[in-house]
A and B are shown apart, each in its own frame.
Chain A
Amino acid sequence: MLFKLSLTGIKSRLKDYIVLFSGLTISSAIFYMFMSMALNQNFLGKNSMMSASMTGFIFAFGAVLLSIITLVYIVYANSFLLSMRQRDYGMYMMLGAKSGKIGILIFLETMVLGVVATLIGIILGLGLTQVVSNMLISQLGLTITGFVGFYLPAVFVTLIFFVALFFIAALFNRRTLLKTPVLELLHGSQKPVKFKQNAGFVWLQALLGIVSLAIGYAAMINVKILVLASIPIALVTIVLGSYLVFNSLFTAVINVVRKNHKTLYKGLRSFTLNQLRFRITDYTRILSMISILFALALGAITVGLGFEKLNQQFENFTYYDAQIVTKDQKVAKEVAKLDVKTKSTYDYKIDGGTVYFIKDEFEKTPLKAMINKSSNSMGFVTTKVGTYSVADLAKETSGGYYYLNNLIPNKKATEQSPMKNVFLTQAEFDAKPQTANSIDLLTVKDFKNDAKTLQAINNLQEKKDPRLAEYMQSTKVFSYLGVRAMTSGFEFMGFFLGIAFLTMLASTLMFKILSGAQSDVSRYEMLSKIGVRRGILRKSISTEIGVLFALPGILGIVHVLFGLQFFKAFLADPYDGIWLPFTIFIVLYMIYYLITVWLYQGIVLKKIK
């Protein structure tokens, strides 16, 4: 009987349940997706030039962050569930239902909801992992290998993590229902709100908040001076600053507006402003948390995409784009596909530990290389094109000597005993009995564009003479692809974590707001009675919720804009192309805002005809 009643309760709020359920499903899907990458050695190993332990660490760090936000998320989602149910269950108890039975019901309800959502989430995660990874790989031109949607350990970890969380949540809900007085369950705990705050104290807090934010931002801008110290400084001051700003600044501003009756007495404005004032004070913690997580998420995406630029920087570390030592039809056919900018050909003959070159060739087309122009305090190097004279190339102590050495394929040369570079006249060279070889050094107009062909050329050469395997590793395209694999790993993770964070924190805010909807029903009902049009009530609701979404969003964006200063150390221009992640974020965030408004109006205006 009680069970049936409880089902009726769910049916009457089906819309809210569907959103709650989808929210939980999405969060477990995201969790699964991330874990399937973080735990998958195959994925980590192949996509990273860095030691596997380093990538493992980065992913573990990501996993911890994701677990924390998931935990917070579940807490808020659960409090929304409880807010929906406490009235019903309070009523049953008042009507004499045994509290033991109610306890079992809410426990079961939470567990069933959670476990079913998790299972569906994992299945969804399997599919999404496949789709999203394929999409990302093609969209961003990433190279990711060894990535499969289904990964058993990830399934287990997700299942255990979520079931454990829901078990705790279910116990918590049971305890709350049984420990809270029935009357309070029925009417909601009307928390006494402290409206009277000392105005001076509020302004002092606001000032302190702004000052701490300023210190935090300054620490980020001056990362060159403070180096690593800027991270803890910024972290502490920005967290503190966000909290203080939410706790006081907005209240202070609203209070100023309230003093001026000319602006206050405009339609429902006094009501909307006071709702906001109450909400913002009540939401201080969650709003500051969201502003910071929002910044972290947006930062993760921006920086992740910023790594793309690392590839471009990397292109400037090596001058020649191709080294052709194999002269055959197949190779020539591939070379013909390249959009060649310059081509220099050098003849050589190998005589034991000595390589003979023709002096004239090096004088006519000097050998070029990228040399360091400058490097900043964080080790960020800029380069320029340099040329080597024949004298340089022949002198054993010069950089050019080794540079040339490495361009010539020869198994015998080692660091310890390099080959000897000898420059001869054409006649002297011709007189040497060894077989003549030649190397073509090419540069192309668009390296990124030709990278695939360049790799094919390497492969063809290696196939013809397997001894060239090691030599081919010194080519530009080989290192380029390696770095690219690493950066795409970062991009992928940044992108993924960013989106995951955003969806979770936006829906955390959504659930927090919706949890309070129930206690607003009577207010809106009353306003409707005294003659407020439904449309005006709707507008007031969208404004109120809009501000609640916008404030942490805007503060978060400001955090990121300053935070990117920190990445000036690694990336030439961290602000380049930030419109993309910002747009993605704002659009996603807007969607959550609209869903929240829709649901909230559904709850609050239900009874108003």
Chain B
Amino acid sequence: MQNLNVVDVQNVQKIYGKKNEKQYQALSNVTFNVKQGEFIAIMGASGSGKSTLLNILSTLDQPTAGSVKINEQDITSLNKNQMADFRGKEIGFIFQDFNLLENLTDRENIALPLSLQGVNSKKIDDAVDKIAKRLGISEILSKYPAEISGGQKQRVAAARALVHEPAILFADEPTGALDSSSAKELLDTMQDLNINDHVSVLMVTHDPFSASYASRILFIKDGQIGEELVRGTKTRAEFHHEIIDNLGTYAQ
């Protein structure tokens, strides 16, 4: 169980631009994997290819070469509808700007992934109540996104990302739009979900503090995975310092 790869990336390459146009290699030879129950952070400077990588992992974009397996399934061979279904079933998303539907109540937002899968309404209600309780947002389920704080919005988004129990949670700068205390709360929650509920997490971030919650950090530079830091038995604060030091040397 512990050795199962939720994400398995082999020699992924991404070239933007068609053959006859100006081409740009955004990713080259990216190889790594995420084990079940791991909390991985991907760090890198702006333009280093983080979003490109995340888009490929989440089937929103295709690699030019290489293979990507999520939960043992090769996602590059799927057709468009299969990809959409795959995203709906196996992947949970949290975005920097929440991406909640402001016309729907929080409850309706969270219920969406399950109703898309055709789960019956009783089960949906139970699942929504359970995840909301887990994330401490039971009180605000009948509110609209416009009526709650940024931190609460990101919790609702997390609830929506997790309600269907996906194989992995992808987070793209999840704390980017939050103040520091909301950011800390969210990260604590994510860590808690990771440790106690064994949710696998892959988070893209600039921020060393956010990254310090991870068990392993992959540094990406010019489209290539460079260094890797493992937290091991270090405390979070120690790990935080190590990341900052590393960034200092890595930037040179």
Contact = CB atoms under 8 A, between A and B. Distances in A.
Given A192-B146, A270-B104, A271-B104, A532 B84 contact: yes
A263 to B, nearest CB: 8
A530 B160 contact: yes
B248 interface: no
Contacts of B115: 264-270
B122 to A, nearest CB: 8
B87 interface: yes
Contacts of A68: none
B112 A530 contact: yes
B232 interface: no
A275 B103 contact: yes
Contact of A262 (B61, B121, B144): B121
Interface stretch (B44-52, B88-96, B132-140, B220-228): B88-96
Interface string A248-281: 0000000000100110111111110011011000
Contacts of A382: none
Interface string B60-74: 110000000000000
B89 A264 contact: no
Contacts of B85: 531, 533
A330 B95 CA distance: 93
B207 interface: no
Interface residues of A, number: 32
B114 A265 contact: yes
Given A261-B121, A526-B101, A529-B99, A271 B81 contact: no
B106 to A, nearest CB: 12
Contact of A274 (B89, B104, B113, B124): B104
Contact of B108 (A274, A526, A528): A274
B204 to A, nearest CB: 15
- Scoring B84, B86, B115 by chain A CB atoms within 10 A of each residue's CB, the highest score goes to B84
Interface string A500-544: 000000000000000000000011001111111111100000000
Interface string B115-158: 11011110011000000000000000000101000000000000
Contacts of B22: none
B101 A278 contact: no
B19 interface: no
A609 interface: yes
B111 interface: yes
A579 interface: no
B80 interface: yes
Nearest to A268: B116
B210 interface: no
Contacts of B124: 261, 265
A3 interface: no
A531 B111 contact: no
B121 A529 contact: no
Contacts of A528: 84
B58 interface: yes
A531 B104 contact: no
Given A261-B121, A265-B124, A531 B116 contact: yes
A128 B94 CA distance: 57
Given A261-B124, A278-B103, A529-B60, A270 B84 contact: no
A265 B121 contact: yes
Interface of A: 192-193, 195, 258, 261-262, 264-271, 274-275, 277-278, 522-523, 526-536, 609
Closest 7 CB pairs of A and B: A531-B88, A531-B87, A265-B115, A274-B103, A261-B121, A533-B84, A265-B121
